[in-house]
Chains A and B, each alone.
Chain A
Amino acid sequence: MTAATLDPHEHHLTPSVRRGPVRRLLLGPGFIRAGWMFCLFGAIGFGLVVGFRWWGGWQPLFDMTPITLVSLLVAGPLGFLAGIGAFDYWTRYAIGSPTRPEDHSGHGARTWHDYFRVNTDHKVIGVQYLVTTIFFFIAGGFLAMLVRVQLARPGNHFFDPQTYNGLFSVHASLMIFLFVIPAFAGLANFVVPLMLGAPDMAFPRLNALSFWLLPIAGIMMLSSFLVPGGAFACGWTGYAPLCSTHQPLGAIFFNQGVQWAGASSIMTALNFLVTIITMRAPGLTFWRLPLLVWANFTTSLLVVIATPFIAGSQFFSMFDHVMHTAFFDPNNGGYPLGYQHIFWFYSHPAVYIMMLPGFGIMSEVISVFSRKPIFGYRLMALSLMAIVVLGFSVWAHHMFTSGMSSWLRVPMMVTTLLIAVPTGIKIFSWIATMWEGKLHFNTPMLFALGFLSMFVIGGLSGVMLGAVPIDIHVTDTYFIVAHLHYVLFGGSVFTIFAGIYYWFPKMTGRMYDERLGKLHFWLTFVGFNLTFFPMHLLGTEGMPRRVADYAPKFADLNMFISLASFGLGASVLVFLYNMITSWKNGPIAPANPWRALTLEWQVSSPPPIFNFDEIPQVVGSPYEYGVPGAQHAILAPSPTHAVEEVAAP
């Protein structure tokens, strides 16, 4: 209760204001301090490496690989974080100074400047996340366009092989680690505390830190194109020993970028778990949680348990590269397949990390726009848990043809096929939710329906891939590319769009343009199917993935796909235009434009800086549409009002 000791008139005068303006510019938290501290920490890292090498008598003294790693990829970013002010509070705590009383100056957005600094408000962080991830979405999409340029016709030499392999590797890494996973984290960041009736996340400073790790990871991956030798070119899976010993310097940009993104992911997930467990409003039991909260709860469990494994796999790969260890070097006692086991032990759950929050968004959107309660709420929540448990037992289905012990294949096939059951339950329940409802086709609902149909195709091709004999034929072909895009684009990206449109009024306080939203949906939906459906055919006919060139018999389809993909790329421009103009000039949004019951819609748009004047009292399920007099929660602007509400049946 440090705030209680504060003089009420002083709270907007942060200590830095009392210093001189020049000193404040240089020493106060912000981008200038981040700049020089980046250089300072980088120099310290450089000194450490060179000092140790000199002390140990290692030659050459200036080895670029460890210097880049320690100075540019570890120490520098830490300096940046310290400079931007992510560690200010903890530093004071650690050295035992009296911590600065919480004056909430670092909380909430009053001007647009507040989005460009360390901010502890979960709503600001949510928006920061979304804008950053959309930036990387566009960057990754641009790389995909370049990939399609190269693949437009056979024998094309638009890019040299190193650049081409780098293009699709960075495309996938950005889309996975810097778009889909953090975009969901961003949406959840904004919505979950509101849905819980909490004033903020459990650890707001940790929340701010986990956001600021993201730009570091993204810029690291993108900048690998600039280092000598080019970007990492071993696919986002970075299989050893190709990635660990046969790659230029760019490979460690990937290894280390994944570490930063993974650390961000773990910290956010931990924050969600603690928030959901300890900060629910009174009356908000687990069986009354909105399914979005359930989805993020289960996702966070996956993240906390699985993500350390990708950290491990990237450490090993990087150590093989930098310290010449022998994790994956068979000539030295290493075991190359070990990489894949460790990698997929994270990266298969990662597929669910990229799906479950989308399932949550789906449940919210479909229920609200069908004006009906979620069908089979408990089974919906339990199927999420089932996916979490099963999700840890299916990793080797990525390795059916990897040369692993063949006895592992059948058990992994069985668990893989079984995981289709809880996923099927969810799809059937959504359809049953729509059944006999009053469907309103606003843009979020369109994207939700688009998701439903596309994800069914992705799920069914997943069942095909789960059957080992089919997988043996189509693995590592374009069938996989089609399948994964149906799951991650038709699945995750559609739900992200649904979520962005759904909560756009809440986030910005303004309505988006409905016509442009619908145009965006149809362009995306059609462009997506034209681009990715033919890839199934390419795959079954035997066109391998990750190739810069292909047999002439695939030429026509590839040209078609390339043209369609440019159309798909153009559809994003509609989205951007809609978002930017609506944010600036859109009509003012009411508090609850969708007539939803969940808590975030019961406060103003955008919500007050501290969410609620008083913690609401939850009295029922969040999906009681059509139940006369049903209420999810009682917000108490004045105590008398609340009593009246309860009294009325």
Chain B
Amino acid sequence: MAAAHAEHLEHHGPPAPHYSSRVTPGVLGMFLFIASEIMLFGSFFTAYFFVRVVNGTPWPTPPYHLPVYVAFINTCILVTSSFSMHWGLQSIKRGNVWGLRAGLLLTFLMGLSFLITQAIEYSRIGFNTTNGAFATIFFCLTGLHGVHVFVGLSILGFMTIRAFRGHFSAEEHHGVEIGGIYWHFVDVMWIVVYLTVYIL
């Protein structure tokens, strides 16, 4: 640290910051961002609560059906992808670059198949956003989650590219760790969405 500091002074750069917490800024920032995201989902679930509990909208409103089993398979895919993500991160912590690459690639492909399944489900579901409050809440909750999967996939994509271009190592894998936290969040959120929208 001292050597790096001396370098900085030469460049008229900033003094080396003093870190007053054991948590690194990146990880803390991601956790706070996730807190914010949970509240965003919270507002959508509040809307769900008003429509389904307060207004007593039948769920699903006849004549519509929800493809519970397709969604269940989708759930399995997404949950599995969390494990492959974790495996990738553990690999790079041990310095296994190919483990990271395989893990990220696998996670990315599973996430992509989730999103494609979701898109196909939308096109075959037989109703659209204008078909009443049930349809509104269904599309908005799954859609909001879909957008998060898309963002998560983009992050995964960037990480994969970086992994294949040789950027991460046993010492330096912050990007994977932070992106991984987000991906786990997206997975956990899906379980909540799946339970409330499809099962309950």
A and B touch in the complex (CB under 8 A): yes
Distance between A375 CB and nearest chain B CB, rounded to angstroms: 27
Of A271, A306, A333, A612, the most chain B CB neighbours within 10 A belong to A333
Bin chain B's interface residue count: 35 or more
Q: Which stretch (B31-39, B73-81, B181-189) binds chain A?
A: B31-39
Q: How many A-B residue pairs lie within 8 Å, measured between CB atoms? A: 185
| Closest residue on chain B to residue A199 by CB atoms | B14
Which single member of B21, B37, B136, B165 contacts A326 (CB below 8 Å)?
B136
- What's the least CB distance linking B40 to chain A, in Å? 4
Complex Cα–Cα for A338 and B53 (A): 12
SS class, residues of chain B in contact with chain A: helix
Q: Say whether A565 faces chain B, with CB atoms less than 8 Å apart.
A: no
Q: A63 at the A/B interface (Cβ < 8 Å)? A: no
Q: Interface size of A by Cβ–Cβ distance < 8 Å? A: 65
Given contacts A278-B23, A333-B61, 5 further A-B contacts (CB under 8 A): A279-B19, A315-B140, A326-B130, A335-B55, A345-B46
- Would A325 and B130 count as touching, CB distance under 8 A? yes
Give Cα distance in the complex from A306 to B43, angstroms. 10
Given contact pairs A95-B158, A316-B47, A325-B129, A613 touches B15 in the complex (Cβ within 8 A): yes
Contact of B4 among A4, A102, A275 (CB under 8 A): A4
Asked whether any CB of chain B lies closer than 8 Å to the CB of A15, the reply is no
Is there an interface contact between A202 and B25, defined as CB atoms closer than 8 Å?
yes
From A202, A266, A312, give the contact of B43 (CB < 8 A). A312
Contacts A/B (CB < 8 Å), 23 sampled: A3-B8, A4-B7, A6-B11, A94-B161, A96-B162, A102-B13, A203-B29, A273-B32, A275-B25, A278-B19, A278-B28, A279-B25, A281-B18, A308-B40, A309-B46, A312-B40, A325-B140, A327-B136, A329-B133, A335-B133, A337-B50, A338-B51, A345-B43
A425 to chain B, nearest CB (A): 28
Say if the beta carbon of B126 comes within 8 Å of chain A.
no
B44 CB–A CB distance under 8 Å:
yes
Q: What 1/0 flags go to A77-99 for Cβ under 8 Å of B? A: 00000000000000001111000
Q: Does B17 contact A (CB under 8 A)?
A: yes
Pick from B25, B37, B161: contact of A203, CB under 8 Å:
B25
Q: With both chains docked as a complex, state the minimum distance between the C-beta of A286 and any C-beta of chain B, in angstroms.
A: 10
Q: Is A210 an interface residue (CB 8 A)?
A: no
Q: Give the docked Cα–Cα distance between A104 and B37 (Å).
A: 32
A284 x B20 contact (CB < 8 A): yes
B47 touching A342 by the CB < 8 A rule? yes
Q: B16 near A: Cβ within 8 Å?
A: yes
Q: Is the CB of A610 within 8 A of B50?
A: no
Given contacts A96-B161, A323-B129, contact A610 B13 (CB under 8 A): yes
Q: Does B139 contact A (CB under 8 A)?
A: yes
Q: Does A195 contact B (CB under 8 A)?
A: no
CA distance A324 to B28 in the complex (A): 39
Report whether B129 and A278 are in contact in the complex, using a CB–CB cutoff of 8 Å. no
Contacting pair B18 A197 (CB below 8 A): yes
Q: Does B124 interact with chain A (Cβ within 8 Å)? A: no
Contact of B120 with A by CB under 8 A: no
Q: Of the candidates B40, B43, B55, B167, which one forms a contact with A333 in the assembled complex, judged by CB atoms under 8 Å apart?
A: B55
A37 to nearest B CB, angstroms?
A: 19
A residues at B contact (CB < 8 Å): 1, 3-4, 6, 8, 11, 93-96, 102, 104, 197-200, 202-203, 266, 270-271, 273-275, 277-282, 284, 304-309, 311-313, 315-316, 319, 323-327, 329, 332-335, 337-338, 341-342, 345, 609-615
User: A464 to chain B: closest CB distance in Å?
Assistant: 30
Give B120 Cβ to nearest chain A Cβ, in Å: 14
CB distance from B178 to the nearest CB of A (A): 12
Closest Cβ of chain A: how far from B102's Cβ, in Å?
17
Candidates A307, A324, A333; contact of B57 at CB < 8 Å: A333
- Bound-state CA distance A95–B50 (Å) is 43
A612 to B40, CA, bound (A): 38
* Inter-subunit contact A270/B25 (CB<8 Å): no
In the complex, the answer to whether B158 meets A93 with C-beta atoms within 8 Å is: yes
Nearest CB of A to B89, in Å:
18
Give Cα A532–Cα B21 distance, bound, in whole angstroms.
47
Asked if residues B36 and A305 are in contact (CB atoms below 8 Å), the reply is yes
Given contacts A278-B19, A323-B130, contact A202 B29 (CB under 8 A): yes
Indicate which residue in A6, A323, A327 contacts B47 across the interface (CB closer than 8 Å).
A327
Contact with A along B110-121 (1 / 0, CB 8 A): 000000000000
CA distance A280 to B175 in the complex (A): 24
CB distance from B192 to the nearest CB of A (A): 16
Chain A residues, Cβ within 8 Å of B51: 327, 333-335, 338
A308 engages B21 (CB within 8 Å): no
Per the bound structure, the CA–CA distance linking A95 and B132 in Å amounts to: 42
Assembled-state Cα–Cα distance A309/B47 (Å): 11
Complex Cα spacing A281 to B103, Å: 39
Whether the Cβ atoms of B50 and A309 lie closer than 8 Å is no
Distance in Å from the Cβ of B146 to the closest Cβ of chain A? 14
Contact of A308 among B3, B20, B36, B140 (CB under 8 A): B36
Min Cβ gap B41→A in Å is 8
Q: Is B54 at the interface (CB under 8 A from chain A)? A: yes
Cβ contact within 8 Å between A3 and B11: yes
B18 touches A280 (CB 8 A): yes
